[in-house]
Amino acid sequence: MDWQLIFLQSKINGGLYLGDELPVQKWEWPTHTWFQERLRNVREREKKIEEKMNHIEV
């Protein structure tokens, strides 16, 4: 029943909420990650396959 405490202590239920007083943190999405590189490679491969398939159909 611990999850119920989250709701009981929430701002909407009159609980103490300090989120508005927290310092603002500027951040950016990570760049040049393994996942982004992998996605780029997969998209390039799919594009080449699609181009080959279109060439064969013509």
pLDDT at site 28 = 94
pLDDT at site 9 = 81
What is the token pair recorded at 7? Answer: 């709701």
5-58 confidence digits (pLDDT tens): 888 888 888 888 888 888 888 999 999 999 999 999 999 999 999 999 888 866
The pTM score is 0.49
Q: Cα–Cα distances in Å, from 39 out to 28, 36, 43, 50?
A: 19, 5, 6, 16
pLDDT at site 46 = 97
pLDDT at site 1 = 62
Every domain of the chain and the residues it spans: 30-58
